[in-house]
Amino acid sequence: MNVVPLARLARERHLDPASAIPVMRTVLARAGLLVEEGVDGATLSVVRPFLDGALALTCGHAECDAIAPRLCGGSVVHASPHRCCVCGASANERARARIYAACIATGARRLVVVGGSPSHREELAGGGARWGREIVGPLGIEWRFVDGSGRHTETAARANIAWADLVVIWAPTQLGHTVSDQYTGSARHPRTATCARKGFGALADTIADALRG
């Protein structure tokens, strides 16, 4: 039998053998493909595609590691940032991962964002997102977006507050007091957070901190 070492399989994928081999050993053993400290060379046509599906490559950031098994499938192995299956070295994607990781950790699923712009809304939930429409994103996270510069009724605000696990007021964006006051008055959600800075990363930090706080 020609045994192909796990180190060779790791190098083929441009992975650090020291960190990748323990994970590869585990998944291959579970699948009955491990032979000594490698695989049977005759099974490489099976092993290679199996590893492609069994390993979730991440950049090593905690938020990406936390959601990779659910979002990408497979066991986490660290690789170069541009190969991360969660963020792909994108700061905005990593910010989104912080939100999803916090939701998973706390069991929160329904988020209401008051304010922001159409571009912010699309960054959070994709191009199908619309004001006032419920959007289901990756990992079952549900979003509602409130137009801070449009007409918004108290009835709609109360419905959003009753539905949400968290309400976020994005203060420095397009947000009029007539809208924000409906979410910060006596009927406010018990878990209401205010993001005082612009930028997708700032909003992600506010959501994650509020959920974990």
How confident is the model over 61-92, as pLDDT tens digits? 999 999 999 999 999 999 999 999 999 999 98
Q: Is residue 169 helix, strand or coil?
A: strand
Domain C-terminal end among 56, 83, 110: 83
Q: Is the pLDDT of residue 100 over 80?
A: yes
CATH number of residue 148's parent domain: 3.40.50
Q: Report the pLDDT value the prediction gives residue 202, as an integer from 0 to 100.
A: 93
15 shares its domain with 66: yes
156 shares its domain with 191: yes
Q: Report the pLDDT value the prediction gives residue 1, as an integer from 0 to 100.
A: 82
116 shares its domain with 171: yes
Q: Is residue 172 helix, strand or coil?
A: coil
* Alpha carbon distance 136, 125 (integer Å): 8
Domain C-terminal end among 33, 63, 83: 83
Quick count: other Cβ atoms within 10 Å of Cβ 162? 9
Mean pLDDT score across all residues of the chain? 90
Residues 160-193: pLDDT tens digits? 999 999 999 999 888 888 899 999 988 889 999 9
Q: Which two tokens stand for residue 20?
A: 């990748």
User: How buried is residue 153: exposed, middle or buried, by Cβ count under 10 Å (0-12/13-18/19+)?
Assistant: exposed
Domain holding 169, by residue range, is: 91-212
98 shares its domain with 25: no
* Alpha carbon distance 70, 24 (integer Å): 18
Query: What does pTM read for this prediction?
Result: 0.82
Residues 106-158: pLDDT tens digits? 999 999 999 987 777 777 765 554 555 566 777 889 999 998 888 889 999 99
Mean pLDDT for 26-46 is 95
Q: Report the pLDDT value the prediction gives residue 139, as an integer from 0 to 100.
A: 85
Q: What is each CA distance from 49 to 54, 92, 122, in whole angstroms?
A: 9, 30, 34
Per-residue b/e over 100-139, b at no fewer than 16 CB within 10 Å? bbbbbebebebbbbbbbeeebbebbbeeebeeeeebebee
Q: Report the pLDDT value the prediction gives residue 55, as an integer from 0 to 100.
A: 96
172 shares its domain with 105: yes
Residues 196-207: pLDDT tens digits? 998 889 999 999
Least confident among 21-35, 48-62, 173-187: 173-187
DSSP letter (8 states) at residue 166: E
Number of domains, the chain: 2
126 shares its domain with 75: no
Q: Report the pLDDT value the prediction gives residue 27, as an integer from 0 to 100.
A: 97
Q: Report the pLDDT value the prediction gives residue 149, as an integer from 0 to 100.
A: 86
Q: Which two tokens stand for residue 43?
A: 């099974």
Domain C-terminal end among 29, 51, 83: 83
- Residues with Cβ within 8 Å of 185's Cβ and at least 6 positions away in sequence, in order, are none
97 shares its domain with 194: yes
Q: Report the pLDDT value the prediction gives residue 42, as an integer from 0 to 100.
A: 95
